Amino acid sequence: MIKRIHLWAGLIVAAYVIPHMINHALGLISLEAMEAMRGVSRLFWSGPVGEPLLIGAFLTHFFLALWSLYTRSTLRMPVWEAMQIALGLLIFPLILVHVVGTAGVQHFLAYEPTYEYVIASLWVADPMRGLQQSVMAIVVWGHLCIGLHFWLRLKSWYRAAVPYVYAAMVLIPALSLLGFASVGRMLAERAEIDPGYLARLFAPILMPNMAHMVTGLKLVEPNGWIVFAILIISVLTARTVRRVWRNRHGTYALRLPDGRTFDAPHGQTILETLRIHGVPHASVCGGRGRCTTCRVQVGEATRHLPTPGEVEHKALMRIGADADVRLACQTCPTIDLTIHPLMPPSASARDAYRPEAAAREQTIAVMFLDIRGSTRLGERKLPYDVLFTLNQFFAEMSAALAETGGHYSNFTGDGLMAMYGVSGSIEDGCRNAVKGAAAMLTRLDELNRRYAHDLPEPLRMGLGIHCGEVIVGNMGPPTAQNFTAIGDAVNVTARLEALTKDFGCALVLSEEAALRSGLDMTGYEKRTTGVRGRVGEIIVYAIDDPRALIG
């Protein structure tokens, strides 16, 4: 709940900051344009609902950031996370003079802080304050951008939107500062031509009866810096006291697969323990329980660990995790345990929604695909042309996999391996695999039509589909693992794909996969064939066009 409140408070502040920065950019048009948009935003943010909401959201976000800093067992963290925290904390002292000069003046001196008044104060009357506020704007914007990016990058749509988001994140502050400078230079010229301009502008707040109020407002900023320093020192001191106190309540031993063992106090998460000891471990969301990339297998210890909280439970359910899989960022052991990381330290946001990847036995449907005549294609076209063609081909095949529930496993030059039924029933997996083959052939026909003038001959391919029990999980070097499968069923499927050349068909489907799929195979002849490298024979169907099979 605290993390949700922290997030929503930040989003409320962002909803104010983004239009406010855009408002500054209107200074490139005119001061009047800035004032017009300010008048619109005041309808909400200066009202009896908007102003308390904004102030409450800002203070809540700030104090929950302090709370987050206090509850950390270690200050070891990724650079982006450290920058986000540092920038977020700096906003409080830097923004004080702006708050005093606008909201303070409005409420205590009954003076409307127009853009003319604010920019003249910062650019003309006190340029150093203007520089400070420009730095403050960059700090606020940097904190906002880091927070939004590392929240949104777990969303499925965000990857495609990144170029547009990045452009906006750069253009908005740049145009905002240019708008501020444009109006500032215009007001400076006005003050130079008219020596009495500033005196008239500031006259309402410089009257003798306002002197004591102005003096009081000027004390807010230095006192605010003192309060800020006291808060930071108090939090850091409290962290130290808390850690010493926790150590008195017992420790647990955390063992890694390579034999390393670390002691940690009760109440400290697995991720914090790993970070304290400098062990690289994936955590795309920064330990907030959103991404699941920090997942670890804890084995029998799962029975003695605290029950997953709501955030962790939802994340584990989303990826279909086994009972002995926990999130390192959310789990606080009180017993000794051995963990097996299930993601490489280099895991990215795209891995957050991958199905649980612990190596396990599972019955799945396997598909192999290979382009026919790719060697001749290379003989007749330049290497870059071949690369372009293959990239287009694999893009279409990946799209067919995505729309039929398949999981891309790996590719080998001019072919690929895919898995179906990893996160569902084997029956659905086999049926979807045949649908995937049909979708691939449809996309291949479209690809041939699209590039008919560039291809020496239409592209053709062969597919093999089989099912069986395999080992599924992340495999390969620690820094470049891939979610794939190994086992007899995989080897058989590869042989079935090769048989499409002998049978002169598009798809060779094993009888086992056909039975599991529940598809009507009436009218398709069974064939018995041996499989190279394997004792015994299997029954298969040679299918010219699987699209006819699924109707």
Q: What are the CA-CA distances from residue 356 to residues 351, 416, 468 (Å)?
A: 10, 22, 19
pLDDT confidence tier of residue 128, bands split at 50, 70 and 90: very high
The predicted model gives 514-529 an average pLDDT of: 91
| pLDDT value, residue 375 | 58
* pLDDT tens-digit map of 14-32: 999 999 999 999 999 999 9
Residues of the chain with pLDDT > 70: what percent? 93
As a whole number of angstroms, the distance between CA 493 and CA 7 comes to: 48
In terms of phi and psi (left: phi > 0; alpha: psi -120 to 50; beta: otherwise), the region of 323 is: alpha
Strand residues in 164-279 grouped as ranges (E):
251-255, 261-265
How does pLDDT run across 31-48, given as a tens digit for each residue? Answer: 999 999 998 988 888 878
- Tell me which amino acid residue 179 is: G
The structure tokens listed for 79 are 């650079």
What topology is assigned to 2-238 in CATH?
3 helical TM bundles of succinate and fumarate reductases (1.20.1300)
Is the pLDDT reported for residue 327 higher than 70?
yes
The answer to whether 169 touches 153, Cβ cutoff 8 Å, is no
pLDDT-derived band at 353, boundaries 50, 70, 90? low
Mean pLDDT value across residues 382-389: 72
Mean pLDDT over 530-550 rounds to 86
Least confident of 149-153, 210-214, 304-308, 464-468: 210-214
Q: Between 101 and 119, whose confidence is greater?
A: 119
User: CA angle at residue 530 from 528 to 534, to 5 degrees?
Assistant: 140
Tell me the mean pLDDT in the region 452-457: 79
| pLDDT level of residue 478 (50, 70, 90 thresholds) | low
pLDDT category of residue 336 using cuts at 50, 70 and 90? very high
pTM: 0.58
CA-to-CA distance for 97 and 211, rounded, in angstroms? 18
The DSSP string of 47-83 is STTHHHHHHHHHHHHHHHHHHHHHH-S-----HHHHH
Averaged pLDDT for residues 335-356 = 76
Ordered by start, the domain boundaries in the chain are 2-238, 251-351, 360-550
The pLDDT score that the predictor gives to residue 1 is: 76
The mean pLDDT of the chain is 86
| Helices and strands in the chain, H and E counts | 19, 14
- By 3-state DSSP, what share of the chain in percent is helix, strand and coil, each rounded to 5? 60, 15, 25
SS3 at position 412: coil
| pLDDT for residue 479 is more than 60 | no
DSSP letters spanning 439-451: HHHHHHHHHHHHT
- Residue 296: closest CA among 262, 329, 253, 265: 329
| H helix or E strand, kind and range, residue 42 | helix 31-45
Average pLDDT for 63-82:
84
Q: Is residue 411 over pLDDT 90?
A: no
261-302 pLDDT, tens digit per residue, is: 998 888 889 999 998 888 888 888 888 888 888 888 888 888
User: Is 3.30.70.1230 the CATH classification of the domain at 360-550?
Assistant: yes
Q: 371: helix, coil or strand?
A: strand
Task: Please report which helix (H) or strand (E) contains residue 85, including its range.
Answer: helix 79-99
Q: Is the per-residue pLDDT at 368 higher than 60?
A: yes
> Pick the residue with more confidence: 12 or 350?
12
pLDDT digits (tens, 9 = 90+) for 200-215: 988 888 777 777 777 8
534 vs 306, residue with greater confidence = 306
- Which pLDDT score is estimated for 208? 77
Q: What band does 500 get if pLDDT is binned at 50, 70 and 90?
A: very high
Q: Taking residues 155-168, what's their average pLDDT?
A: 87
pLDDT bracket for residue 356 (50, 70, 90):
low
Highest-scoring range by mean pLDDT, 145-159, 206-220, 423-437, 475-489: 423-437
Determine the pLDDT at residue 19: 95
Class of domain 251-351: alpha beta
Comparing C-alpha atoms, which of 451, 445, 485, 452 is closest to residue 469? 485
Phi, psi (degrees; rounded to nearest 5) at 259: 100, -15
- According to the model, what pLDDT value does residue 531 have? 78
At residue 220, the pLDDT reads 85
Q: What are the CA-CA distances from residue 286 to residues 26, 412, 509 (Å)?
A: 36, 35, 45
- List the 340-341 sheet strands across, edge first: 325-327, 295-297, 340-341
**Across residues 506-535, what is the average pLDDT?**
89
Please say if the pLDDT value at position 480 is more than 70: no
Residue 406, SS3 per DSSP: coil
